Chain A
């Protein structure tokens, strides 16, 4: 039986944030979550302030389950900070290290990069470390895995925990050997005294002891320039389970006696039930649940459940709703009060914008639009729910296990500590799985069936009943002097959001406004949020302004840009791309870039436009990306490549079509996503700034692509496309030969 060791590491609370507290570099951001108002009463700023204060408790050697018990009742409200944040790390008697984090693995490979960070600081090989992720009973509270926050916050947090644990172990060994801690070295899971050649394993050292330590105020972290494990390319830590089919995704989970659930869907959004006949279904040996507008069935297989649902007769009352054809007029004509919690603030003004626009040598006004698009995570939403009395356990695919726990507690009117949500590494999310619909559905059916129930959405359900990336209208007016200096910048975004709305170009007179509007479809977070929309409009407009004064678009940007890190990526990608090289007929080059979620991206595109058919081919994409000190170069390269390739869909052809509360292209044969044959040559330049804190990379790399392609199409054809998707049919719209 193992004994307990806990080291409490109290460091002085700094009066102002340290450089590592990235909250100083960027305003805190929330994410859009569809139809769950109580998500926003939580103050993440407080959470990060707490982490920054450096009060850590590292529980070691407690039996893991016991040590984590308090996690179940952990609630996060502004007035009760999680002082009980504990048990981030556990070293078992066999030397295995278990690390607990509320972050989840959705394909961004943080299981690997966080393991590298712990291995680096704890001086233990990665093979000995296991991460328990996103289990509301075992892991410390976490708001969710979004906003590219894992690397700047959780990576830092786990490094601190691991470093504290290592220092505690060194201190323990020094006491035991009656020597000075400075004489000892931590290496490969052991403490070594080089003078006497004494060696002790971490696990042996901690055995049978309890300890409380106070660490000095200095940050004990290893500088990136000295990293040995972090900073190196690491392949997916449990990759073998993924190539053998062994890994159990949320939709693969099973429990003895489990049933499969299906839900009766209304024929359109907002429809209400007026009559219902479930008699036939009830005679099919299934559990039928009718609760308000929720009608669902649980049966032995998904086919049985679906067949039973098909026999249900229901009448619904629907209201007429707008279609995608009226979408942009609708957004402009339906302003609402309120604000956008996801971005840079709703309104920013500097200088004298109206006077500056009036005095500009050239003034250019243009409107840009983007439609609703779907995330299409290849694994649709899935949940398996199991009740034990009034205690509920749910395995589900979500980016916010603690948020889903709250939704379940609210739905079933039970305390949160009676709900446990587990998040097995899932089949992607891209911002699309913040909510707990399937968890609630499965739990409702399981409650009635008195057996575990699994609900896996069909692709059509995922296309219809999930939520979408918000559509938007962006109106931009730029004013420039004849020498190419931008003097005025007015930017309005309707509905899509304010993430990335501010310009990084140095412009003395600005008015930047986000306009919330009524909107026709359920909308929420999507990888990079509105930064994709705002960069598309801004970086397209920059090229339009450059063209107005006949300047090279890169030269024009650099002339108006002081931010060194952004200049560096623009220049690095230009070099790789060979910007300025001669064009052949039909060829076009374009660029777009910016700053988002603490990272810097510049993307260049080469396209070819067929003179006759006006068919556009994307030939080559080159991106340079910088996100501070690189933790896992191969993982990072994978993210940047993936962002560009996924981004091709939204840039070129993805759009949700809808009418009267129905999604018209609700399956994969009707909604085109990028495939092998769509992929151009993709090249990535990574700038490793070991002198800067590591930040996230999941989102920023996506935002340069759409404007780079639009600008390249203009360069090739002289046609300016201001609406995404740029070429839904593969040709420049309106110019196809008939």
Chain B
């Protein structure tokens, strides 16, 4: 029996076992390969997507559990050609080397800024600690998130300037 998934504002009918991981469905059934496999146990964050606005590891999320929820992947973040401020901030900060972690980092950062528009540095580190960048661009990612916070809500971001 097919499951209906709402991804990036579009409905998809997926004929797969509801126990299949969301990451496998995205990558293998829908060719939405922006979400990455890194560990398969929710430890690296490369597969992070938004489920109803909250960051979730798609590799340990069963497809059946997210039917009829709003799923956002990295492919759905930009509004047409207009990049999301977090995407722009990652580019401006040079917050990547190989870029394999970038999708997950960006989705986690978007979720963080939704919840906390003006995070302190320590709050960024706490929230992002489940996302691994093997190339070691962590300080640049922190900078990018701080820049994005200011871009999204200039007034509230000023309050979160401390560590």
Contact = CB atoms under 8 A, between A and B. Distances in A.
A674 B34 CA distance: 24
Contacts of B94: 235-236, 239, 634-635, 638
Nearest to B125: A676
A646 B134 contact: yes
Interface string B6-35: 000000000011001000100111011111
B146 interface: no
Contacts of A642: 97, 135-137
Interface string B83-104: 1000100111010111111110
Contact of B96 (A242, A249, A379, A667): A242
A582 interface: no
Given A247-B99, A634-B94, A643 B40 contact: no
B138 A679 contact: yes
A673 B134 CA distance: 8
Interface string A622-651: 000000000000110011011111101000
B41 A107 contact: no
A236 B40 CA distance: 28
B33 A248 contact: yes
Contact of B87 (A244, A378, A676): A244
A586 interface: no
Contacts, number: 173
A81 B143 CA distance: 48
A682 interface: yes
Contact of B99 (A242, A376, A459, A635): A242
Nearest to A253: B33
Nearest to A646: B136
A148 B27 CA distance: 34
A648 B133 CA distance: 13
B114 to A, nearest CB: 18
Interface string B131-153: 11111111111100000000000
B106 interface: yes
Interface string A350-381: 00000000000000000000000000111110
Contacts of A301: 16, 20, 24, 28-29
B157 to A, nearest CB: 19
A376 to B, nearest CB: 6
B97 A243 contact: no
Contacts of B73: 245
Interface string A249-264: 1011010000010000
Interface in B113-139: 124-126, 128-139
Sorting the interface of chain B by its residue count into under 10, 10 to 19, 20 to 34 or 35 or more gives: 35 or more
B83 A240 contact: yes
A249 B129 CA distance: 24
B102 A252 contact: no
A109 B96 CA distance: 10
Contacts of A456: 37
Contact of A378 (B83, B100, B124, B126): B100
A669 B43 contact: yes
A235 B142 CA distance: 17
Given A456-B37, A668-B132, A242 B43 contact: no
B161 interface: no
B139 A378 contact: no
Contact of B132 (A239, A648, A675): A675
A245 B97 contact: no
Given A243-B102, A673-B132, A459 B40 contact: yes
A106 B141 CA distance: 19
B77 A235 contact: no
A384 to B, nearest CB: 12
B139 A641 contact: yes
A520 to B, nearest CB: 25
Contact of B24 (A302, A376, A458, A644): A302
B101 A378 contact: yes
A251 B100 CA distance: 11
Contacts of B87: 243-244
B100 A641 contact: no
B44 A378 contact: yes
Nearest to A240: B91
Contacts of B141: 676
29 contacts: A107-B100, A243-B90, A243-B102, A245-B32, A245-B33, A245-B35, A254-B33, A302-B24, A377-B134, A426-B98, A426-B100, A427-B98, A428-B134, A638-B94, A639-B97, A641-B137, A642-B135, A642-B137, A643-B136, A645-B138, A645-B139, A667-B39, A667-B41, A668-B39, A669-B39, A675-B130, A675-B138, A676-B128, A677-B125
Interface of A: 106-109, 235-236, 239-240, 242-249, 251-252, 254, 260, 301-303, 376-380, 425-428, 430, 456, 458-459, 634-635, 638-639, 641-646, 648, 667-669, 673-677, 679, 682
